[in-house]
């Protein structure tokens, strides 16, 4: 039976990417060696890094003002690396709190300057994106999490302000066009919409670096990694390689514009069924629903195990909701096919027929 991977992360990868990655594990670039064991200083891996930089820049039309980095430590390390590098001790940064990851980012940033929590949706268990809040004009940057993997909300567009953004795009990077020039920094853990766990994409405005009044440890300084082209120390070679393959696959599909159209279509299929089906409901404010992580509930929670069993039997894997939300979560990242969403919708229809 065909399986459809709806896990939130580590998440689905395109089948052609998996095939190329598997081949490279046995023999990379005709070397007779595995991608897992070649030198990161070799010409073959230097080419991988260059292709990865090039693909990211093409996909997002990254201007020359910004540098692309592939680092370790996950997006969680960027919670402190961003303010460490960008926020002076006497400066202010504004944070919008829309879930678990922004909460953690706020906790870390407090150590490096004055932090202002501009708005929060915690009062309703993060089931909406805050609106109508004031944004001070003297902020160094405004931080937000573009897509909230756990709670199923997403910023339809960036907050309206002339303040530069710092944004955690871990779960919707390369899913839609963005204007990188508006961002002081973008970061994204690979394992949701870009590649396997192990590397983190950072896009940073190089003109904004070197302005803080503190010592920055060498390994935590973005300038170190810019100078050494993400190879100051041994980089996570295999995750970068697979991320490169994934970005090149997105380019082959038509780029982020094509991905945006497909993602909207897939999400509409599932949300329409959630709204139509008498057994299911969505806890998320309609205008703030994520196109990447679609959260929904059974009105009768006693049916959850039964529905989970039927979905699994149909090949829909990983739809159990996060423990802090409950219910179900279908992650429809770039690599999820329309077919996979259609199968899940059919499971929901049949479940209604038998249980309504």
**Could you list the active site residues?**
101, 168, 192
Burial class, 292, CB count within 10 angstroms (exposed 0-12 / middle 13-18 / buried 19+)? buried
Q: Is the dihedral of CA 58, 59, 65, 67 positive or negative?
A: negative
CB 142, CB 118: distance < 8 Å: yes
Q: What are phi and psi of 207, to 5 degrees?
A: -75, -15
SS3 annotation, 252-287: HCCHHHHHHHHHHHHHHHHHHHHHHCCCEECCCCHH
Cα–Cα distance, 103 to 218 (Å, whole number): 27
Cα–Cα distance, 166 to 188 (Å, whole number): 11
Other C-beta atoms lying within 10 Å of the C-beta of residue 162: 8
Exposed e or buried b for every residue in 299-319, given b needs 16+ CB within 10 A? eeeeebeebeebbeebebebb
Q: What are phi and psi of 4, to 5 degrees?
A: -120, 120
Q: Helix, strand, or coil here: 92?
A: strand
Bridge partners (DSSP) listed for residue 93: 115, 141
């Amino acid at each position: 039976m065909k399986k459809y991977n709806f896990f939130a992360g580590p998440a689905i990868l395109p089948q052609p990417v998996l095939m190329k990655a598997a081949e490279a594990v046995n023999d990379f670039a005709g070397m007779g060696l595995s991608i897992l064991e070649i030198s990161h200083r070799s010409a073959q891996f230097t080419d991988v890094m260059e292709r990865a930089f090039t693909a990211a820049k093409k996909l997002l039309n990254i201007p020359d003002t910004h540098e692309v980095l592939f680092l370790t430590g996950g997006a969680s390390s960027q919670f402190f690396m961003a303010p460490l590098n960008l926020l002076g001790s006497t400066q202010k940064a504004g944070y919008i709190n829309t879930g678990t990851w922004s909460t953690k980012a706020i906790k870390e940033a407090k150590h490096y300057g004055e932090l202002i929590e501009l708005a929060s949706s915690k009062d309703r268990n993060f089931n909406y994106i805050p609106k109508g809040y004031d944004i001070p004009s003297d902020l160094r940057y405004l931080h937000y999490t573009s897509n909230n993997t756990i709670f199923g909300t997403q910023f339809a567009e960036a907050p309206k302000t002339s303040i530069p953004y710092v944004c955690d795009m871990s779960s919707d990077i390369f899913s839609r066009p963005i204007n990188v020039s508006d961002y002081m920094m973008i970061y994204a853990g690979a394992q949701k919409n870009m590649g396997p766990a192990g590397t983190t994409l950072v896009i940073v405005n190089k003109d904004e670096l070197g302005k803080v009044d503190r010592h920055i440890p060498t390994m935590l300084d973005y300038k170190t990694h810019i100078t050494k082209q993400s190879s100051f120390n041994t980089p996570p070679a295999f995750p970068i390689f697979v991320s490169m393959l994934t970005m090149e696959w997105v380019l082959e599909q038509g780029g982020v514009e094509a991905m945006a159209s497909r993602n909207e279509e897939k999400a509409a299929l599932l949300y329409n069924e959630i709204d139509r089906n008498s057994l299911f409901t969505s806890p998320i404010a309609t205008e703030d629903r994520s196109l990447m992580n679609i959260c929904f509930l059974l009105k009768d929670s006693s049916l959850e195990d039964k529905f989970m069993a039927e979905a699994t039997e149909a090949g829909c894997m990983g739809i159990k909701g996060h423990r802090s939300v409950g219910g179900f979560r279908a992650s429809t990242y770039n690599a999820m096919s329309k077919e996979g969403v259609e199968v899940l919708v059919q499971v929901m229809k049949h479940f209604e027929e038998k249980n309504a």
